[in-house]
Amino acid sequence: MARTLHTDLYDEPAYRAGEAARMLALPAATVKAWCFGHDYLQSDGTPKRFKAVVTPADAKDRLLSFNNLCELHMLAAIRRHYRVSMPSVRTSLSYVRKVLQTPRPLLAGEFLTNGVHLFIGRAGAVLNTSREGQAALSPDFQRELQRVERDKHGSPIRLFPATRALAAALDSPRSVVVDPKLGFGRPVLARAGVTTEVIQDRFLAGDSPREMAQDYAVDESDIWEALRFEQRLAA
């Protein structure tokens, strides 16, 4: 039986593609292509359509939901660490939809890969979409998966985006969180609920990280991570 996924708040259209791209440290063009598709010309001049991989919360107004953010995060982790081709991704997603009877494969479980084929881990079993056997998971890939926090039913409820860029991204602490129940779904300090944008505004107005840490009863390091996150968004 397919697991019931969150709807309402978690599927509420709330983010523009550019905003989602900045939070997830992805190129805006990539997010738009994965969520809305795009037309392009092949080398011989023949027009072709790149079909969306993620179903957006609101295709008409081109808006994404929190669940869409989590789907993009999962897909990006697969592509970043294992270079899985898009045809392999599409084939595997179709397989999982059919066999596990879930309409949202990227939300339904942990995606595993060996660099060529996509795997899905669910209920303690590993299903390989193409051959028998287990595949070793990259530790870095596992760390990225852990940035999506799930409830007891396995549904995503919080996302901890990287506060640092490039090679340092995986070392980012879980200081900043995206939670539909906090700050209208905008990035906030996990231990205080105040948006990172407010932290940035206060810093630019002259408030020190130490003062803000005292105000919000958090570690000063949390304030610095919020500032690093806002700096990354602006880059």
**How do the domains of the chain map onto residue ranges?**
160-235
Instruction: Give the closest residue to 189 by CA, choosing from 167, 208, 168, 163.
Output: 163
**pLDDT, tens only, 130-153:** 444 345 567 888 888 889 998 988
Please tell me the predicted confidence (pLDDT) of residue 137.
Answer: 63
Quote the pLDDT of residue 43. Answer: 87
Query: Does the pTM exceed 0.75?
Result: yes
Q: Report the half-sphere exposure of 45 (CA within 13 A, side-chain side).
A: 0
pLDDT at residue 75 is higher than 60: yes
CATH level 2 (architecture), domain 160-235: Orthogonal Bundle (1.10)
Supply the pLDDT for residue 183.
95
pLDDT at site 166: 66
pLDDT interval class at 1 (50, 70, 90): very low
- Inform me whether the pLDDT recorded for 154 exceeds 80: yes
CA distances from 3 to 17, 71, 75, 106, 115 (A): 28, 16, 20, 13, 27
Count Cα neighbours of 34 within 13 Å in the Cβ-side half-sphere.
Answer: 26
The pLDDT of 76-102, averaged and rounded, is 78
Instruction: Report which residue type is found at 176.
Output: V
Torsional sign, CA 206, 208, 209, 213: negative
Q: What is the mean pLDDT of the chain?
A: 84
What whole-number distance in Å separates Cα of residue 109 and Cα of residue 76?
15
pLDDT surpassing 70 at residue 127? no
